[in-house]
Structure 1
Amino acid sequence: MRIFIGFLAGSAIGCAMWLLGTPEQTTSALQYIKPFGDLLVSMLKMIVVPVICLSLIVGAASLPIQRFGKVGLKVIGWYLLCSFLAAAVGALMATAFNPGSEAALQAWESIASSSQVQEAAQLKAVQAETKQGGILSILLSMFENPFSALSNGNFLAIITFSILFGLALRVLLEGSKEAKQQSALNKLMEMISAGRDIIFKLVDWILEYTPIGVFALSIANFSAYGPKIAGPYVEVTLGVIAGVLVMIFIAYPLLLAVVTKRNPIPIMKIMQEAIITAFITRSSAATLPVSIRVAEDDLKVKNELASFSLPLGATINMDGVCVHLPMFAILAANMFSLDLGFSALVVLVITTVLASIGAGGVPGGSLMLLFIILQAMGLDPTQISIIVALALGINPILDMFETANNVTGDLVCTYAVASTSDLIDKSA
């Protein structure tokens, strides 16, 4: 409730600043307000890496190997199902709204010709040379020096190493016949579990500050980025938001109703704290501590699943990204006269899902993925950089909605797997 009040109050003040203040006054005020919001995101990011690492190791090491395989496949299967569903919804919304078509095309071309967009395009093109390597690059990035991955925040590599480490620990625990080794392994498991508990105590402390951070972030988002939703951007904004709302209010409840045979509305309501946090922070990874707490304490999902499924979902399950990316793909097709038939849309959906795996749970993580999507459509580097630069103007607002979608998808998939795998703590 405190978080929600902070969000409403901050949004109201931000909108008032947008409507009544000058850009100079807004900038001057934000330099004192925004640091309080940035502090919240920084504190959450401070604990993200240890939360992911320790939670995944404990989660993978706590499940018997045979059961881990079955549950692990269920989790991954659910994530892929929801990602494909989100990409299909995104493609349908993009086709329906058809951004950049007919009269709207001239407005987009006018924005694309501005010096500000051209400069941003050049900057992103330079960054893309080092950061964009396609699907193969994403695969290779999963296997990296674990210490380097921890320091650089390479979430895919951290997840890969943590799961493998936890599985190896479990294999040794189940297979070792030496009492001395068994004792050492059990002590290691206890130490890792204790480390995870310490991190979650830090989470509790940080969450006490959350309403203040949310208040400041809301003011910053609605005062600084509100004016960006104007002119031709409205079409893209409405299309993405419509797709996200379809996923959250229609697709996910229907999936829960079919799988759990229960009324999905109370279940979705329980998830609202994590969804609001995701909406404000624009980071699936930064929201992860809240997601785990909601799953275990409120949804009663057992720790052995929540500590495995949610960190995994924060990196590879990007349903909001899957809704978002097709919108700019259709815009690119209209701007550069590309013919996207049914088969091209199918390829777009598949490429979007594969690319979303590398989004990373950080604010704005979907922007660099546009290079992969647009390159697969056959655009040249200049055309690609222009579309990405155009996306920069609206991304902060879209990112809020797509991150809320990402976290909702993580919790829905986790609860669905828990319900079908007897991993709901009925005694709690």
Structure 2
Amino acid sequence: MKALLLKWNQMSLVKRILVGIIAGVILALLLPSATVIGMFGSLFVSALKAVAPLLVLFIVMSAITKHQKGQKTNMKEILVLYGLSTFLAGLIAVIASFIFPVKLSLVTGSAELTPPDGIAEVLETLLFSVVDNPVSALMNGNYIGILAWAVVIGIALRSANNQTKDLLTHLSDAISQVVKWVIQWAPLGIMGLVFNSITTNGLSSLLDYGKLLLILIGCMLFMALIVNPLIVYANIRRNPYPLVLLCLKESGITAFFTRSSAANIPINMRLCEKLKLDSDTYSVSVPLGATINMAGAAVTISVLTLAAVHTLGIEVDFGTALLLSVVSAIAAAGASGVAGGSLLLIPLACSVFGIPNEIAIQVVGVGFIIGVLQDSFETALNSSSDVLFTATAEYAKERKAGGDIAVGA
């Protein structure tokens, strides 16, 4: 038994999740009355629900306090590129979700939903959520309020001493470690979620997940191969694909398998050095990009949120859909660098439409079921574009100065 457990732990999380999915399908077909199996899914979702608010608070707060003033870098241009790419990713995901609407199998319970009437009501809800009591926001899963307090406290602590900043970093790392521990139980949790889904709705529920996965991956590939190259071309006025493909090859492939932007930072730093970029810039932009440059996360948040909206029959106007793109971009910037980190930000976007946290967290569970591929593609897009936009900003500066640009060297 000990040897078996050792071999199990030595397997990659992706393989273990695949085993969990297969086990869930088989058990649902052979033992549909064994409801105890479904309990693993409920426990897994509850654990995610408990740790997500703290993760958002400390990850964002710690990232803001680390920024140092007075550094002469291309950070302003890079931040604009990060923000533009993330927003466009959310917008493209929203458009794709309207063209190819997907419904999920969720347990809505008896809670009555009161969908917003329009953009004015949404903005009013957002404003009151922002000024919510921080303790209340943490207790009730008000992610917009949590994000707002994290930003405000982070800015206030930028002038704090190094010991205070180190403490925040340690707290952030500790909570990220807790998330990693929870995610280690993902195979069992996903087995329970798949079991519940099939016994409740039949095998057809997996087809919904397949459609959802196709939309997610399609949007991410469109960003990586069409939108990002257009952004690069607009800045450097050269063929962007040598640089784009190099970043995807040397950063995207490793990120695909590590499924962690944070874990891919050393790979990105080495690639920046290979491209002979300014070390004062990439030493800041690459770690920061692992936190806030999250186009893939914006796609995930937008697509899964609108899947919940379509499932619940909530009508969405253009203004609210555009607002979702902005909220997805902001929420994505707070995504953790660990595998599946973006999924924990979905309740924030769902709150825009008045979707209860109890239902939103079920969407998070669906995200983990398809996360074997979704999170891999997402991380590959996120991490590879950290180097892509760092290089783009520097090459654009060289172009304006009249120098030669060695794109993809």
State TM-score, norm by structure 2: 0.62
Aligned length: 295
**Corresponding position: 1:257 with 2:260:** no
Partner Cα separation in structure 1 for residue 280 and residue 357 of structure 2 = 45
Q: SS state of the match for residue 329, structure 1? A: helix
User: Displacement of 1:331 after TM fit?
Assistant: 1.2
User: Displacement of 1:333 after TM fit?
Assistant: 1.1
1:11-50 equivalences in 2 (<5 Å): none
**Which one of 284, 292, 307 corresponds to residue 269 of structure 2?**
292
Partner Cα separation in structure 1 for residue 172 and residue 383 of structure 2 = 19
User: Displacement of 1:365 after TM fit?
Assistant: 0.9
User: Displacement of 1:74 after TM fit?
Assistant: 1.1
Aligned to 1:274: 251
Partner Cα separation in structure 2 for residue 128 and residue 314 of structure 1 = 28
**Which one of 281, 285, 305 corresponds to residue 329 of structure 1?**
305
Q: SS state of the match for residue 341, structure 2? A: coil
CA deviations on 1:329-375 (whole Å, 9 max, x unpaired) are: 11111121210111110111111111111112221111221111011
Amino acid at match of 1:252: N
**Which one of 291, 303, 312 corresponds to residue 288 of structure 2?**
312
CA deviations on 1:368-395 (whole Å, 9 max, x unpaired) are: 2111101111112332233233333223
1:52-131 equivalences in 2 (<5 Å): 67-68=72-73, 71-100=74-103, 108-109=104-105, 112=107, 129=140
CA deviations on 1:55-107 (whole Å, 9 max, x unpaired) are: x88xx68xx75x44xx222121111111111111111121122111xxxxxxx
User: Displacement of 1:129 after TM fit?
Assistant: 4.4
Amino acid at match of 1:139: V
Partner Cα separation in structure 1 for residue 266 and residue 404 of structure 2 = 19
Name stretches of at least 5 consecutive residues in structure 2 with no aligned partner: 1-10, 27-58, 110-136, 158-163, 175-185, 195-204
Aligned to 1:208: none
Partner Cα separation in structure 2 for residue 131 and residue 347 of structure 1 = 17
User: Displacement of 1:146 after TM fit?
Assistant: 1.1
Do 2:340 and 2:368's aligned partners in 1 also have CA atoms closer than 8 Å? no
Name stretches of at least 5 consecutive residues in structure 1 with no aligned partner: 1-9, 26-48, 101-107, 115-125, 156-219
**Corresponding position: 1:135 with 2:154:** no
Aligned to 2:167: 148
Partner Cα separation in structure 2 for residue 324 and residue 22 of structure 1 = 25
Aligned to 2:113: none
- Report which stretch shifted further, 132-141 or 324-333: 132-141
Do 2:90 and 2:329's aligned partners in 1 also have CA atoms closer than 8 Å? yes
Do 1:87 and 1:353's aligned partners in 2 also have CA atoms closer than 8 Å? yes
In structure 2, do the counterparts of structure 1 residues 14 and 154 end up closer, same or farther at CA, with 3 Å as the change threshold? Answer: closer
Q: Between Structure 1 and Structure 2, which shows a larger proportion of helix residues?
A: 1
User: Displacement of 1:154 after TM fit?
Assistant: 5.6
In structure 2, do the counterparts of structure 1 residues 388 and 130 end up closer, same or farther at CA, with 3 Å as the change threshold? Answer: same
**Which one of 314, 326, 330 corresponds to residue 354 of structure 1?**
330
1:384-395 equivalences in 2 (<5 Å): 384-395=360-371
In structure 2, do the counterparts of structure 1 residues 422 and 153 end up closer, same or farther at CA, with 3 Å as the change threshold? Answer: farther
Partner Cα separation in structure 2 for residue 425 and residue 86 of structure 1 = 31
Percent pairwise identity: 26
**RMSD value over aligned CA atoms?**
3.9
Aligned to 1:407: 383
Amino acid at match of 1:269: L
Partner Cα separation in structure 2 for residue 394 and residue 306 of structure 1 = 33
In structure 2, do the counterparts of structure 1 residues 386 and 23 end up closer, same or farther at CA, with 3 Å as the change threshold? Answer: closer
Partner Cα separation in structure 2 for residue 416 and residue 361 of structure 1 = 23
Amino acid at match of 1:405: L
Amino acid at match of 1:85: L
Partner Cα separation in structure 2 for residue 267 and residue 323 of structure 1 = 23
In structure 2, do the counterparts of structure 1 residues 340 and 131 end up closer, same or farther at CA, with 3 Å as the change threshold? Answer: closer
In structure 2, do the counterparts of structure 1 residues 322 and 243 end up closer, same or farther at CA, with 3 Å as the change threshold? Answer: same
User: Displacement of 1:24 after TM fit?
Assistant: 12
State TM-score, norm by structure 1: 0.60
